[in-house]
């Protein structure tokens, strides 16, 4: 299992996902940009804008290598220079309808010239309005995928997502979470093939999960009120990504490709001073469900 094989697989995964999304959207097409990174490697960015279901989103593949950035060396307590290789697929999709959730997925592989390597990734869902049965369906889907590999994965990675996708300054989760994992290395319980098989299964869950929500909710009618709330929830999404998301912050600080990193920004977002939902409204109910530790399965 070489880094080239993993990278080739991720590129194929990008193709599969883009095809599935275009088919489910029925109108939007991905626009492709190929880019090179000065220090080594590059990427294939695919962005969809003004689709029928997806208003704006990106499915990004990259495989980059070179000298490990000094910030990363420091964060790992390394004193000598090492080379790195990193490859992955990252997705954020902002739908047109407030009744279709925002989704994020990432699968990635990282290795260093000192022999260390690991996988990371996750999928999390940000419904503008939390619908409990949808949240349960989503979490059960992820739990089933995890359980096929290791029954400890779902509880561990679900908690990790709750903790990671958290807007501390708002004291609320970004959405209903999902799973998040990083630094997954081989050990006595799993070899590289087994880890990779898990990451592949997560990557391949993305299209069935999101096209399910696209199909199910794209034609539901909504009013101006729901649209307004969607714009405010997108504002919170922007806040999370720019203030807290480690990948975004690290990418921007280390001279990553800004347009690829910020593909996660919504097409439009709103802010209102000191927004308070109406008592007993759907908006209030949703805000009440943006908490860590809810058992959805």
Site string (235-274) toward a second copy, x via CB under 8 A: x--xx--xx-----x--x-----xx-xxx-xxxxxxxxxx
* Minimum CB distance to a second copy, residue 35 (Å): 10
Q: CB 38: neighbour CB atoms within 10 A? A: 8
How many residues make contact with a second copy (CB under 8 A)? 32
Q: Looking at 23, 31, 148, 225, which residue binds a second copy (CB under 8 A)?
A: 31
Q: Is residue 34 at the binding interface for a second copy, with CB under 8 A as the rule?
A: no
* Minimum CB distance to a second copy, residue 137 (Å): 30
* Minimum CB distance to a second copy, residue 32 (Å): 11
Between 66 and 251, CB nearer to a second copy: 251
Q: Is residue 74 at the binding interface for a second copy, with CB under 8 A as the rule?
A: no
* Minimum CB distance to a second copy, residue 238 (Å): 6
The residues that are catalytic are 104
* Minimum CB distance to a second copy, residue 233 (Å): 14
Name, in order, each residue with C-beta under 8 angstroms of 171's C-beta and a sequence gap of 6 or more.
none
Q: CB 210: neighbour CB atoms within 10 A? A: 27
* Minimum CB distance to a second copy, residue 167 (Å): 9
Q: Looking at 10, 41, 53, 56, which residue binds a second copy (CB under 8 A)?
A: 56
Do 56 and 96 touch, CB atoms closer than 8 A? no
Max alpha carbon distance in the chain (Å)? 58
d(CA 140, CA 18): 24
d(CA 265, CA 286): 22
d(CA 93, CA 159): 23
> 224 to each of 188, 221, 227, 232, how far by Cα in Å?
55, 10, 5, 13
Q: Is residue 39 at the binding interface for a second copy, with CB under 8 A as the rule?
A: no
Identify which of 209, 171, 127, 181 has the alpha carbon closest to the alpha carbon of residue 292.
171
| CA distance between the termini of the chain | 34
Number of residues assigned to the chain: 297
Between 20 and 242, CB nearer to a second copy: 242
Q: Looking at 231, 250, 285, 297, which residue binds a second copy (CB under 8 A)?
A: 231
Between 17 and 131, CB nearer to a second copy: 17
Crossing angle for the helix pair 192-217 and 3-25, nearest 10 degrees? Answer: 10
Q: Is residue 211 at the binding interface for a second copy, with CB under 8 A as the rule?
A: no
Residue 114, SS3 per DSSP: coil
Site string (82-121) toward a second copy, x via CB under 8 A: ----------------------------------------
Do 77 and 103 touch, CB atoms closer than 8 A? no
* Binding residues for a second copy (CB under 8 A): 31, 33, 47, 49, 56, 58, 168-170, 231, 235, 238-239, 242-243, 249, 252, 258-259, 261-263, 265-274
């Amino acid at each position: 299992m070489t880094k080239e094989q993993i990278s080739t697989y991720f590129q194929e995964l990008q193709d599969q996902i883009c095809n599935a999304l275009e088919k489910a959207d029925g109108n939007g097409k991905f626009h492709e940009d190929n880019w090179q990174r000065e220090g080594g490697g590059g990427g294939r960015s695919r962005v969809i804008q003004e689709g029928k279901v997806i208003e704006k989103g990106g499915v990004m593949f990259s495989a980059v290598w070179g000298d490990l950035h000094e910030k990363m060396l420091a964060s790992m307590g390394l004193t000598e220079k090492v080379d790195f290789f990193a490859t992955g697929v990252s997705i954020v999709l902002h739908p047109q309808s407030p009744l279709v959730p925002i989704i994020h997925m990432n699968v990635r592989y990282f290795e260093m010239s000192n022999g260390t390597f690991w996988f990371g990734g996750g999928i999390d869902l940000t419904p503008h309005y939390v619908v409990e049965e949808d949240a349960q369906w989503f979490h059960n889907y992820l739990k089933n995928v995890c359980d096929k590999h290791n029954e400890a994965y779902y509880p561990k990675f679900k908690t990790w997502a709750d903790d990671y996708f958290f807007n501390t300054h708002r004291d609320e989760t970004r959405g209903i979470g999902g799973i998040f994992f990083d630094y997954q290395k081989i050990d006595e319980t799993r070899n590289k093939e087994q880890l990779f098989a898990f990451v592949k299964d997560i990557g391949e869950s993305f299209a069935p999960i999101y096209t399910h929500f696209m199909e199910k909710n794209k034609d539901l009618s909504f009013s101006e009120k729901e649209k307004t709330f969607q714009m405010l929830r997108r504002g919170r999404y922007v806040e999370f990504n720019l203030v807290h998301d480690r990948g975004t912050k690290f990418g921007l600080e280390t001279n990553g490709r800004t347009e690829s990193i910020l593909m996660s920004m919504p097409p439009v977002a709103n802010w209102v001073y000191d927004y308070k939902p109406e008592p007993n409204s759907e908006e209030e109910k949703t805000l009440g469900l943006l908490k860590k530790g809810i058992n959805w399965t």
